[in-house]
Structures are given as C-alpha cells and as structure tokens.
Amino acid sequence: MAQDPQPPAETSPGEVHPEPELGVGEVSARDSQADPGAKADPTTFLSVFLATFSTVFLAELGDKTQLAALLLSAQSGRPVIVFLGASLALICSSLVGVLLGRWLARFIPAQLLERLAGILMVALGLWLGRQAVLSFLPVSDLAIGQLPLP
C-alpha cells in the first residue's frame, strides 16, 4: 500500500524548496495542479513532441539518408527490413543527439547553445555549397598534373 506523502512544511513568502528529481514519465505535484489563472506551459508533451517530429521529419526529407534507404530498398527488394534498419539507425543517432544536447545544456546556457547550433548549421551549409560548386567546375590540366610538354 502506498504511503501518503507528507504535507509540505510551512514556508515563508518567497522561500523556494526544490522538488526532487523525477524519473521518466513521473509528474511533480506542481505539474499536476492546474491553476486556471496561470499561463499554459509552452513545453507540454504534445507541443515538444510535435515540434520535434515536424523539425526532424522536414530535415530528413530528401537527404542522403533517405536516398540511401530508397536505394537499399530497391536493391534488396526487402522494404520492410530496410525500413526497420533505417528506423533503428535514426533512433540511435537521435539518441546520441538528445544525450549530447542534455549534457551540453549543463554547461552552456540554452540561448548560447541555440546560437552555436545555428552557426554550425550555417557553416555546414556553406561548406556543402562550396563542395557542390567545386564539383561543377572543370578540372584544369594543372590540377591533375598533366601539363603538355614543350
């Protein structure tokens, strides 16, 4: 039989008592009490889930991972197995990103982390754009070491 939690100790105005850390899926007493006059928490499960899903879904459309899955499915003739493998790979790589993000959030403020991620994305885009432009330029004879002899 579960024990009833002890009532909170009397506190003076402005005094804050930290809540104990919660496990996955647990809800604190503060979260479970609805205050009709308070603003809705913008980080509800559904809003975070939908933002994450739509961001990752749109980011993955047409990228090389999706093209690789397309080719593997066409070559193997086993689309269900390719789907399962690609899904597991995306789950694992997303787990790495989530764990790294949580670890970095301990040392770097969220706003700075967001800016650094934006700078990294722009830098990667510029680098990939440079690679694309270079792939369309003709290769000169000098670049491959085949100068005509006099």
Q: State the Cα–Cα distance between residues 112 and 3, nearest whole angstrom.
A: 43
Q: Are 123 and 98 in contact (CB under 8 A)?
A: no
> Token digits for 49?
């889930």
pLDDT in tens, 31-65: 445 455 555 566 799 999 999 999 888 888 888 88
> Token digits for 88?
């597991």
How is the chain split into domains, by residue range? 60-135
Q: Are 85 and 71 in contact (CB under 8 A)?
A: no
User: pTM for this one?
Assistant: 0.50
DSSP letter (8 states) at residue 21:
P
Cα 69 to the center of its chain, rounded Å: 20
Amino acid at 33: Q
pLDDT in tens, 102-146: 999 899 998 998 899 899 989 999 998 898 888 888 766 445 555
